Structure 1
Amino acid sequence: MTQDNPDLGEKALSKVAEVGISSQLDEAENIDVDIRTDPGKLLQGQVDSVEISGKGLVMKQDLRVETLEVSTSKVAINPLSAVLGNIELTRPTDAEAQIVLTESDLNRAFNSDYIQSKMQGLEMQMEGKPVTVDVQQAVINLPGNNQFVIAADFRLRERGEVKKLSATAIPKIEENGHRISLEILSAEGQGLTTELVTAIFEQLTNLLDLRNFNIPGISLRIRQLDAQKAKLVIQAATQIEQIPSA
């Protein structure tokens, strides 16, 4: 039904979708799916709208999303499957999505074992000599004005020295909206090299590959992004080929 109170069929399908999406995540504080239609349309395989909202969703590489909102208009589904309590799309549907990541979310992922392993044993030139660098700690700050600031401590293995660097960058949309790159505006530090700054930002941009956010059957493409104070807001076009089942 399209009024404010969903009927039992809508509730059942919504619950199936919630369970299916939750099964594809490592963790979820909350997932809510609201499917709206009426019994007559449902028998014809028509759904008026689907809205998905989530909070505290943990995806691969320990990437946590503070909030995720996805909304569609009409969706075509297999009516027989719907009667049996399943959701099977008969054709892909377009939707709009908004993803919000906080500074804490970014730092959690950036300092995860997976990303940290990528920042150990970096080989480069420093003062004309080959060195091996281990990034010991990196902190991401979002000060607003569409900027990223990274402060990092790194260790030179050969010298046993620990040095610091900081760099500021602005995010840009690349690869047809699938990836966020970071353009370095400024950098400063001890024993700083372009290679080192680039290596650190490369791992951050790998983390911000939007394909890391994809739930099976649901793909995202960035339309707009805004690095606000303490949070990153991503607006994306979404294509839903299938709503995951448990």
Structure 2
Amino acid sequence: MAKGNSDLGEQALSKAVEMGLSTQLDSVESLEAEIRTNPGALLQGEVESADIQGQGLVIKGDLRTEELRVQTDGMAIDPIKAAFGNIELTRPTNAAMAAKLTEADIERACNSDYIQQKLQNLEVKLDDRPVQMKIQQVQVSLPGEGRVAIATDILKLDSGEQQHVAFSAVPAVDAQGYQLMLNDVQMEPNNTSEPLTQSLLAAANDLLDLRQFSLSGMTFQVERIDVQKEHMTLQAKAHLKTFPGG
């Protein structure tokens, strides 16, 4: 629910944002929006800021965020529609965004239908020849020291042979802020095929595209990844063409 704003216009807009964003989510544990403006500025279509905080937000069935916060700068909106509790941006606006993901959130995303469809019949190169693979259940842990540990069993479809892949790496983001990269890769002792692991990492670009977490009308660029024991935090700048509730 919206926080205790003193102005009825702020309350109406805050509620509209909460309801609009909720329609884009498969489920949510809690969601609060706070719009800051005043009656005079609102008549001119000006909003001072918006602050959205949520917990347990799920999109696309299995992509879950433990915590999400979005804070915008000043916004230009349609004042007539705003009078009816509807926010429609008259120009795009920028925002700062922070998302916290737990180990379970990341593992759930890796095993989601959305990602698993990309992992079926995945083709990698081994000994300079293409080999089709099927990746089984993926296990993810965040042991600390900035690392993520990944383990899975991979079936080679041509021979039926199964290999166990286990490694840890340091996540980083590319210069554009869209692509997650895995640096300083270290093989675990129970890894049965280092060449397969390296080939799999080389083919992983499409799987590590952070834009899959975007909501409708919003694009974002990740500026920083902070990996701690059992959770990861992404800090990003967002660009909004439309606003939840608009």
**Length-normalised TM-score, structure 1:** 0.86
Of residues 109-118 and 88-97 in structure 1, the stretch that sits farther from structure 2 once superposed is 109-118
Gaps of 5+ in 2: none
- The structural deviation recorded for 1:61 is 6.3
Structure 2 residue aligned with 1:220: 220
> For 1:66-81, what aligned pairs fall within 5 Å after superposition?
66-81=66-81
What's the secondary structure of 1:27's corresponding residue? coil
> CA–CA distance in 2 between the matches of 1:83 and 1:51?
19
C-alpha spacing 1:199/1:193, structure 2 compared with 1 (3 Å): same
Distance 1:148 1:104 in 2: 12
Decide whether the 8 Å contact of 2:45 with 2:79 is kept in 1. Answer: yes
CA-CA distance at 1:197 after TM superposition: 4.2
Q: Deviations over 1:1-30 (max 9, x none)?
A: xxx633221111111111111112222222
Match of 1:93 in 2: 93
Task: Please give the per-residue CA displacement for 1:24-77, whole angstroms capped at 9, x wherever unaligned.
Answer: 222222221110111111111111210011111112362111111011232221
Distance in structure 2 (CA, Å) of the matches to 1:42 and 1:145: 47
Hey, what's the Cα distance between the residues in 2 that align with 1:167 and 1:190? 7
Structure 1: segments with no counterpart, 5+ residues: none
Q: 3-state SS of the aligned residue for 1:26?
A: coil
Q: Which residue of 2 aligns with 1:192?
A: 193
Q: Aligned partners of 1:137 and 1:23: how far apart in 2? A: 30
Letter in 2 for 1:225: I
TM-score, normalising length: structure 2: 0.86
Partner in structure 2 of residue 9 of structure 1: 9
RMSD of Structure 2 on Structure 1 (CA): 2.6
Identity rate, percent? 41
Number of residue-to-residue matches in the alignment: 243
CA drift of 1:200 comes to 5.7
Alignment of 1:139-178 (within 5 A): 139-157=139-157, 160-174=160-174, 176-178=176-178
Is the Cα contact below 8 Å between 2:134 and 2:156 reproduced in 1? yes
Per mean C-alpha deviation after superposition, the further-off stretch among 103-112 and 180-189 is 180-189
Distance in 2 between residues matched to 1:207 and 1:26, nearest whole Å? 21
Supply the distance in 1 between the matched residues of 2:213 and 2:91 (Cα, whole angstroms): 22
Label 1:244 to 1:111 Cα distance change in 2 as closer, same or farther (>3 A): same
* Whole-Å separation in 2 of the counterparts to 1:22 and 1:76: 22
AA of the residue aligned to 1:194:
P
Q: Following the alignment from structure 1 to structure 2, what is the Cα–Cα distance between the partners of residues 171 and 236? A: 15
**What is the 5 A alignment of 1:4-43?**
5-43=5-43
Residue 111 of structure 1 is matched in structure 2 by: 111
For residues 61 and 198 of structure 2, the distance between their equivalents in structure 1, rounded to whole angstroms, comes to 22
Q: Distance in 2 between matches of 1:89 and 1:124?
A: 45
Letter paired with 2:230: A
Cα 1:111–1:201, aligned 2, differ >3 Å: closer, same or farther? Answer: farther
Structure-1 residue corresponding to 2:46? 46
Evaluate the alpha carbon distance shift between residue 131 and residue 78 of structure 1 in structure 2; reply closer, same or farther with a 3 A threshold.
closer
Paired letter, 1:18: E
CA 1:229–1:183: 2 relative to 1, 3 Å: same
